[in-house]
Structure 1
Amino acid sequence: MIKEEKINSRQFTLLVIMFTVGSSIIIIPSALVNESRQDGWISAILAMIIGLLLVWVYTTIGKRYSGKSLPLIIEQVMGKKLGKLIILLYFFFSFTLAALVLRNFGDFLNTKIMVETPLEAIHIMFLIPIVYAVKLGIETYSRVAEITFPFILLLLFLLMVLSVPQIELTNIQPIFGEGIKTITGGSLAMIGVPIFELFILTTFFSTVNEPKNIKRSFFIGILIGCSILILITLFTILILGVHLTGLKMFPTYVLAKKISIADFLQRVEIIVAAVWGITLFFKLVLCFHASLIMFAKGFSIKNYRILVIPMSIILFIYSLIAYPNSAYFIEFATKTWLSFGMTFGLVIPLIILIISFIKKPSKTN
């Protein structure tokens, strides 16, 4: 008999925060600034507000089908045949996201820290703990999130405090200088990554042992996660300026490299690398785990764990061919991936919600 995995609402909140910050903390400032210039941080606030509205949609669906995971909800709402097709499409979405996240991490280490290490070796090194975590299950890695989260907050606090002497207030002036239309358009970068992607987390609704607290946990998680992204974007603009932030693919890392206190405290960019590595780990674990659950449900496989090893090998290969270079990824993430995210994070959830009001939820699984 397969043991049912359960986590509490606090652990779910932490997973939401980790997922939200994930790959976004180091690449989102550049994407926001390229669109909204010095008002990029305002675009991030707008994206957070839209994210809260979407979380209301996601948690309302979860409440109407209390105790059920996303695959079961889809199958019940859409019927068995169409439901399985949509489940497999969500598998493709979450599995592709896992490949992109893994490649982001590989590109970062390969260009900034381990420049002589082959990309393949970096991916294998990072995949081993991912495979181990998914094998152990969400109960185990959510406990790890509880242990590591205080260190994440401490490192971020240190980064911001140490950055204060470098701040130039003129870098964010004039506020609202780019106009509402530009600010709204700029918010799409953060809405695409990570806001639309958050729907993947509904896969784990059934694991939360306090279903009535899911909505509150999700809201708190996205508020904290997005607030971190807003602050990081603001600090990046204040210190690097619009031109340099928009020019660099990893501006947050560049921000940390500029910190210098009396020629004594320098080279603290390891703080950013540590924060990104830890939060990226959890985002990749959640994406890979969700994709396995979707695949198992789509093909009526009882235990997703038997898929971990073979699918991790496919993920490794997929991550290497996901995109040719970093310049292509920026174009892909801000345009093509936004369309994917809108389909899976907005359109299908709204259809599910509407049908759920028309079609009375079943009491059975």
Structure 2
Amino acid sequence: MLKDERISPSQFTLLTTLFTIGSSIIIIPASLVLVAKQDGWISAIVATLFGLLLIYFYSSFPNKYPGKGLPEIIELVFGSYLGKLIIALYFFFSFTLAALVLRNFGDFLKTKIILETPLEAIHIMFLIPVIYAVKLGIETYSRVAELTFPFVILMFIILITLTSPQAEFTNIQPIFGEEAKTIVGGSLSMVGVPFLELILLTTLYSSINNPKKTRKSFLVGVLMGASFLVVTTIYTILVLGVELTSLKVYPTYVWAKKISIADFLERVEVTIAALWGITLFFKLVIAYHVSLILVSKLFKMKDYRILAIPMAFILYVYSLIAYPNSAYFMDFATKTWFAYALLFGLVFPVLLWGVGLFKKDQKT
């Protein structure tokens, strides 16, 4: 991380919020409802509680290692050789996440918006502004986040307001109709995407200009993002019902298509898609940015920006071969990816904390 890159705690909050919403707002409602049925929204709340506990844990690192991000902490705790191996693994995790997010966006546009456009062209069009944002640095794209976030809130409020007349409260009944273990089991997909992925944002700790406010800004950002996901899940069930929500790959887009006022205000789902495009963009930018920081630390490079263009070619190819189709991705995201995310988002951080504590005790 370059020393001259600084963001405020409030900017970190917004980046956390947008990362949390990211692609989750498109795919999570279906995975929650598939397991927990009408209680999917309760699973979302349970997942949020798990997520807040995770973030409370993640935000304990700045107090112990002030001014340092994830790669610096890893090398400090595990040493040069083992540390580099773990940083390399985190790079693979972050880079894979970036490829998956890019593919999510491409699949969404290809199947719902611009059906005749080749997937390859969509990926190229989306990658260009991502490369530009990363080359400009975190200060610049954090300011863009401040400008676009009000639009995200506005469009979300409009979506809620215009679809409220079609909400059927019988769709979420009976409340707590599923067993507790089913509701908790349903929450795991949301714990994996996005909460365990948030470990990557600890790489940006060294950019926050007021480290003492890191915990508060992180927790607030996750709570804001999770609120979007919980409300989205509730309204998707209310408007579409359990069966339709669980069957659709992108149920929130189907939900947006329900907007129809006096045969005048219709077909506004493309505008709503722009809302999701914004959150996907920032999640991709952050995941790609973190990837470049990690690989630059791995090879002791002073400036990660020189990697932005060459690594984008690899990301482009990786995104095209990441998975065969959307149906496969839903199964991958709820099962295989959860295992990966658990390793990097919980197992490694706990080891990092435990080994660091042990080494400190030995010194004393």
SS of alignment partner, residue 348 of structure 1:
helix
* Separation (CA, whole Å) in 1 of partners of 2:62 and 2:126: 32
Q: Shift of the alpha carbon at 1:107?
A: 0.1
Aligned counterpart, 2:108 = 108
Q: Shift of the alpha carbon at 1:271?
A: 3.5
Q: Does 1:227 align with 2:211?
A: no
Aligned counterpart, 1:60 = 60
Q: Shift of the alpha carbon at 1:339?
A: 0.3
Aligned counterpart, 2:40 = 40
Q: CA RMSD in A?
A: 1.2
Contact 1:252-1:272 within 8 A present in 2 as well: no
Aligned counterpart, 1:330 = 330
Query: Which structure 2 residues correspond to residues 1-365 of structure 1 after superposition, within 5 A?
Result: 4-360=4-360
* Separation (CA, whole Å) in 1 of partners of 2:188 and 2:272: 24
Contact 1:36-1:182 within 8 A present in 2 as well: yes
| 2:350 partner letter | L
* Separation (CA, whole Å) in 2 of partners of 1:242 and 1:3: 50
String of CA shifts for 1:161-190, please: whole Å, max 9, x gaps: 101100000000000101111000000010
* Separation (CA, whole Å) in 2 of partners of 1:6 and 1:114: 38
Normalising by structure 2, we get a TM-score of: 0.98
String of CA shifts for 1:209-254, please: whole Å, max 9, x gaps: 0000000000000001001100000000000000000000000000
SS of alignment partner, residue 260 of structure 1:
coil
| 1:43 partner letter | S
| 1:66 partner letter | P
* Separation (CA, whole Å) in 1 of partners of 2:101 and 2:181: 30
* Separation (CA, whole Å) in 1 of partners of 2:356 and 2:267: 53
| 2:300 partner letter | S
* Separation (CA, whole Å) in 2 of partners of 1:332 and 1:44: 19
| 1:168 partner letter | E
Structure 2: runs of 5+ lacking an equivalent: none
Q: Shift of the alpha carbon at 1:57?
A: 1.0
Q: Which structure 1 residue ranges, 4+ long, deviate > 3 Å from structure 2? A: none
Contact 2:113-2:270 within 8 A present in 1 as well: no
Q: What is the number of equivalent residue pairs in this alignment?
A: 361
Normalising by structure 1, we get a TM-score of: 0.97
Q: Shift of the alpha carbon at 1:3?
A: 5.4
Contact 2:56-2:215 within 8 A present in 1 as well: yes
Contact 2:44-2:187 within 8 A present in 1 as well: yes
Contact 2:27-2:330 within 8 A present in 1 as well: no
Q: Shift of the alpha carbon at 1:359?
A: 2.3
* Separation (CA, whole Å) in 2 of partners of 1:62 and 1:253: 39
Contact 2:3-2:207 within 8 A present in 1 as well: no
| 1:107 partner letter | D
Contact 1:253-1:273 within 8 A present in 2 as well: yes
* Separation (CA, whole Å) in 2 of partners of 1:63 and 1:266: 51
* Separation (CA, whole Å) in 1 of partners of 2:360 and 2:298: 23
String of CA shifts for 1:120-144, please: whole Å, max 9, x gaps: 0000000000000000000000000
SS of alignment partner, residue 359 of structure 1:
helix
| 2:263 partner letter | D
Structure 1: runs of 5+ lacking an equivalent: none
SS of alignment partner, residue 122 of structure 1:
helix
| 2:39 partner letter | D
Contact 1:74-1:87 within 8 A present in 2 as well: yes
* Separation (CA, whole Å) in 2 of partners of 1:272 and 1:155: 7
SS of alignment partner, residue 335 of structure 2:
helix
**Alignment CA distance shift 1:113-1:76 (3 Å):** same
* Separation (CA, whole Å) in 1 of partners of 2:262 and 2:168: 18
Contact 1:61-1:352 within 8 A present in 2 as well: no
Q: Shift of the alpha carbon at 1:357?
A: 2.0
* Separation (CA, whole Å) in 2 of partners of 1:180 and 1:284: 34
Q: Shift of the alpha carbon at 1:263?
A: 1.5
* Separation (CA, whole Å) in 2 of partners of 1:93 and 1:315: 13
Contact 1:75-1:84 within 8 A present in 2 as well: yes
Residue identity over aligned pairs, in percent, reads 64
